[in-house]
Amino acid sequence: MASPRHVPVLLDRVVDLLAPALDEAAAARLGAAPVLVDCTLGLGGHSEAVLERLPGARVVGIDRDPAALALAGERLAAHGERFTGVHATYDEIGEVVADLGLGEVAGVLFDLGVSSMQLDVRERGFAYAEDAPLDMRMDSSTGPTAADVLNTYSAADLTRVLRDYGEEKFARKIAAAVVRRRESEPFTTSGPLVELLYAEIPAPARRTGGHPAKRTFQALRMEVNDELAVLRRALPAAIDVLGVGGRVVVESYHSLEDRLVKQAFTAATRSVVPDDLPFVPEGSEPALRLVTRGSEKADAGEIEANPRAASVRLRAVERVRPSDGPQGRSAARTPRTTHRPDTRGGAAR
């Protein structure tokens, strides 16, 4: 198996945004080590930077990918009990926080989309550069694969997936071709799909907008992992577990993701007081405030060094007063596997 590369996007900016909630002053205010929940742990690049630069903080890393958890555990083992890895999807953040007895947390980070771990390991089937199994599951132990989607979805459903998640202009044409092709030979690897896309997307369109398979592979990945539905549940759950002074930071790479983040943050920071009221009654202020002005982007230098940063949109909010009450922490919880790093350098299972 190939060794994955890992280049965290907007690393310094992310740490700077989280620092006021996780630094020594925050620890003194809380009377305990402030906790960051890294909801998309991946290979642990953002978490490592927080643990190194903010020595009073703890990190709980969530990932649905057991392989990523194991590798991140090895990477962060030197930090001992300051790091805890949890196998879960990030919409389970409320249950994870409750299971660990944390009550409230000081920071939540989402670095959305596909990680270096998945993109750079051929066997995972996320990339279109070489022929590989059409898997694309972030947790390869459960759920349908990309091949299952291609071989079982109707032409109408395939069109919807490609149009909505890939913003593919030729979605209907591609879907019809997929259905025709699978009648003679089911899809199992990426090579035949890439060949089909080259054949179905007109030459002028192939010359713009990057690789012609990019949009289809993105759409299949988002469908296989139910990414937008998970994010839609995760954002309010993350806001709910945030203590006063805590921050939620989100990096998005797709317009639909960023739209959900913007909507969630706008709702959380909007005043319910009528616009024509000359003052805001005490206790009616929004519980959160926007930290970033709109969405922030990577600069040209970072994009040149790390092309994956080109589409990033970063947003952040901060809780400024207590919530009216926990919403979603009362849901039934199921036990999950917790990974603590082995001090000898391995990830305990």
What integer best gives the mean pLDDT of the chain? 85
Say if domain 139-224 classifies as CATH 3.40.50.300: no
Q: Residue 93 in 3-state DSSP? A: helix
pLDDT(208) > 60 = yes
Residue ranges of the chain that CATH labels 3.40.50.150: 11-117+227-339
List where CATH 1.10.150.170 sits in the chain. Answer: 139-224
Give the residue numbers of the binding site.
Answer: 44-46, 63, 90, 111, 118
Q: Indicate the pLDDT class of residue 179, thresholds 50, 70 and 90.
A: very high
128-166 pLDDT, tens digit each: 567 888 988 888 778 899 999 999 999 999 999 999 999
- Please report where in the chains the tokens 């203590």 appear, as a residue: 243
Helix (H, G, I), strand (E, B) or coil at 246: strand
Q: Which string of b and e fits 281-294 if b means at least 16 CB within 10 Å?
A: eeeeebbbbebbee
- Is 11-117+227-339 CATH 3.40.120.10? no
Mean pLDDT, rounded, for 288-301:
95
Going by the annotation, the residues of the binding site for S-adenosyl-L-methionine are 44-46, 63, 90, 111, 118
Provide mean pLDDT across the span 87-103. Answer: 95
